[in-house]
A and B are shown apart, each in its own frame.
Chain A
Amino acid sequence: MKIDDILLLSYVDGALSADQKQQVEEGIGSSAELAERVALLRASRLPYQHAFAHQKLPEVPDSLVALVGRLAQGGAGVQADARSDAEEDSEQHEGSNQETKFTYKPHATHWGQGPGGVLGKPSVAAPAAAAARRSFRIAPAWLAVAFVAGAFCWGVGFRLTADSRQPALSSMAFQTVPAGTSPWVLAAAGYQQLYAHETLAEIQPDMAQSARTVDEIRREDGLDVHVPDLSSVGLQFKRVQRLSFHGKPLVQIVYLPAKGAPVALCVIRDKKPDVAVAQQDIEDMSVLTWRRGELGYALIGKRDNTSLPDLGRMLAENKSGQLFSKAALDSLLAAMT
């Protein structure tokens, strides 16, 4: 019988049968090296739990307690971004084929909880957002957290705005929100506010995945969305995401300039008549909105981005080039099969 580390551990822990024990003891008797290893194992029988129980650790941060508390309250309704989750899922033991299919399901991200949602007081939403912003510094995959926090923060706003019995709280929640702003634009702006340059700088555009997403948006959601090519104005396409706002498909196309905050073009189905470009400021975000061909558009950037109005007009007039044209899309999709 080969006496290895596992057998020696079992011997020291008294977990061997009488026969095995005898064999190990015979081995120890004839090998000083084995005897030494057993001595070391015996010396390692220490009160570990007692020692670690008295280790001085930093307290659980308040921001973490708040965030987990909010996740616990609203967790059942929260499902974060499908694509970033799938990208991150490199560990086999935690996933399965079934899971991979699940994470690619459409509209896996939901914005806003709506009236009567599972949301707490607005005063505790801020730490969650702060925690989310902080988490961005590490990696794009942390976006899931940001999304959750964003949904809570802005969901609170929706609830309060919808509840006219609480005008004081409502005004506190959105001091800088112009009257008449669409809820989906508020949600998109709130979400975009959490993005920093660093958030997206590490993301390499995955054109194959993006092509698949665009194809799904067009085929399954029935949204004739075009992805503008804005490289001529210094904006690099980063990704297109298929999101959901109160059950309605919402497309988010994100671009990054060489310097400064990212810019997002969001699109949702909106069957009202066309309207021209209008600008509004929501907190520290600037938003240009317009409606064309039963699609509502919101171009969102930081307020200090002075080129945003011109960009909005260019997009509204459909003057930009296009990524994922039908021919390009067919080619990319064919390459994937």
Chain B
Amino acid sequence: MSVADFPSILPELLPRLWAFALRISRDQHDAEDLVQRACVRALERAHQLKPDTSPLSWMYSIVHTTWINELRARSVRSRTSAEWDDSYLETVADPSAPNPETDVLNKQIVRAVERLPEAQRTVMLLVVVEGLSYQEAAQVLGVPVGTIMSRLSRARQAVGSQFGTRQDQKVKDSIKG
């Protein structure tokens, strides 16, 4: 993909950028402003997109940086889970779900991730939700790969603590089923 082609792929990236912005900002209006701003910044810097970098990862990087800058500007260094607005934290009933427990499980998983500290949550979103490699996530967040793995490990231990042995067995069953 050449630099000139980059603007043309923005619309197809938009749904995933929107979801990512919503999940990191946890506010619909912030997410809208965030995506707008990130797109403009990306166009300004399209020449910096390297051929071996995924445009989506690059956009995640800009969205994330823009959000961190915005938080700094607001002097809100971190949001505690107590401030979490779960107004859109609902899951759609899955018609293909083998049983209602799957829906319940979906909600529990989403909620467990959303309640993580911000740095861990962002890594979880990038790696286990968006499917980025450790290396890609490291590039997005501008941190060493070791930091990504360390945050991911702590995040998963925190999530794991909410899913005991019994729960774990149900999960395994639902995955198999």
Q: Give Cα A145 to B145, complex, Å.
A: 33
- Identify which of residues 133-153 in chain B touch chain A, using a CB-to-CB cut-off of 8 Å: 141-142, 146, 149-150, 152-153
Task: Count CB-based A-B contacts (< 8 Å).
Answer: 189
B61 at the interface (CB under 8 A from A): yes
Q: Give Cα A39 to B103, complex, Å.
A: 24
Cβ contact of A135, chosen from B37, B41, B124, cutoff 8 A: B37
Q: Give Cα A71 to B62, complex, Å.
A: 16
A71/B92 in contact, CB under 8 A: no
A73/B175 in contact, CB under 8 A: no
A1 at the interface (CB under 8 A from B): no
B19: which A residues are within 8 A, CB to CB?
Answer: 57
**Contact A48 B129, CB 8 Å, known A42-B168, A57-B88:** yes
A103: which B residues are within 8 A, CB to CB?
Answer: 44
- Identify which of residues 29-49 in chain B touch chain A, using a CB-to-CB cut-off of 8 Å: 32-33, 35-37, 39-41, 43-46, 48
A141/B109 in contact, CB under 8 A: no
B79 at the interface (CB under 8 A from A): no
Cβ contact of A71, chosen from B39, B89, B158, cutoff 8 A: B39
A5/B150 in contact, CB under 8 A: yes
- Identify which of residues 31-54 in chain A touch chain B, using a CB-to-CB cut-off of 8 Å: 37, 39-52, 54
Annotate A154-191 by CB proximity to B: 1 below 8 A, 0 otherwise: 00000000000000000000000000000000000000
A76/B4 in contact, CB under 8 A: yes
**Contact A75 B43, CB 8 Å, known A51-B105, A58-B22:** yes
Q: Give chain A's interface secondary structure class.
A: helix
Least CB distance from B89 to A in Å reads 7
- Identify which of residues 140-155 in chain A touch chain B, using a CB-to-CB cut-off of 8 Å: 141-142, 144-145, 148
- Identify which of residues 235-266 in chain A touch chain B, using a CB-to-CB cut-off of 8 Å: none
A79: which B residues are within 8 A, CB to CB?
Answer: 43-44
Please tell me the size bucket of the interface on B.
35 or more
- Identify which of residues 53-98 in chain B touch chain A, using a CB-to-CB cut-off of 8 Å: 61-62, 65, 68-70, 72-73, 88-92, 94
Cβ contact of B65, chosen from A64, A94, A139, A142, cutoff 8 A: A94
Number of A residues with CB within 8 Å of any CB on chain B: 62
**Can you name the residue of chain A whose Cβ is closest to the Cβ of B46?**
A75
A6/B109 in contact, CB under 8 A: no
B115 at the interface (CB under 8 A from A): no
A222 at the interface (CB under 8 A from B): no
A131: which B residues are within 8 A, CB to CB?
Answer: 32, 36
Q: Give Cα A94 to B161, complex, Å.
A: 35
Cβ contact of A56, chosen from B91, B124, B152, B158, cutoff 8 A: B91
Q: Which of B32, B142, B164 is the most central at the interface, judged by chain A CB atoms within 10 Å of its CB?
A: B32
Cβ contact of A80, chosen from B44, B107, B171, cutoff 8 A: B44
Q: Which of A5, A46, A48, A92 is the most central at the interface, judged by chain B CB atoms within 10 Å of its CB?
A: A46
**Contact A9 B45, CB 8 Å, known A46-B171, A47-B171, A60-B18:** no
B28: which A residues are within 8 A, CB to CB?
Answer: 58
B154/A5 in contact, CB under 8 A: yes
Cβ contact of A57, chosen from B22, B154, B156, B175, cutoff 8 A: B22
A52/B110 in contact, CB under 8 A: yes
B165: which A residues are within 8 A, CB to CB?
Answer: 39, 43
A63 at the interface (CB under 8 A from B): yes
A99/B45 in contact, CB under 8 A: yes
A90: which B residues are within 8 A, CB to CB?
Answer: 69, 72
B44: which A residues are within 8 A, CB to CB?
Answer: 78-80, 85, 103, 144
**Contact A54 B92, CB 8 Å, known A47-B174, A49-B129, A135-B33:** yes
A10 at the interface (CB under 8 A from B): yes
Cβ contact of A40, chosen from B39, B94, B103, B156, cutoff 8 A: B156
B11 at the interface (CB under 8 A from A): yes
B88/A58 in contact, CB under 8 A: yes
Cβ contact of A85, chosen from B41, B70, B175, cutoff 8 A: B41
A64/B36 in contact, CB under 8 A: yes
List of 5 A-B pairs having minimum Cβ-Cβ separation, nearest first: A93-B142, A75-B7, A44-B160, A40-B160, A5-B153
A-B contact pairs, 9 of them (CB 8 A): A5-B150, A48-B129, A51-B110, A55-B110, A71-B39, A88-B69, A91-B69, A134-B33, A135-B37
Q: B interface vs A, CB < 8 Å? A: 4, 6-11, 14-15, 18-19, 22, 28, 32-33, 35-37, 39-41, 43-46, 48, 61-62, 65, 68-70, 72-73, 88-92, 94, 103, 105-107, 109-110, 113, 124, 128-129, 131, 141-142, 146, 149-150, 152-154, 156-161, 163-165, 167-168, 171, 174-175
Q: A interface vs B, CB < 8 Å? A: 4-6, 8-10, 37, 39-52, 54-58, 60-61, 63-65, 67-69, 71-76, 78-80, 85, 88, 90-94, 99, 103, 131, 134-135, 138-139, 141-142, 144-145, 148
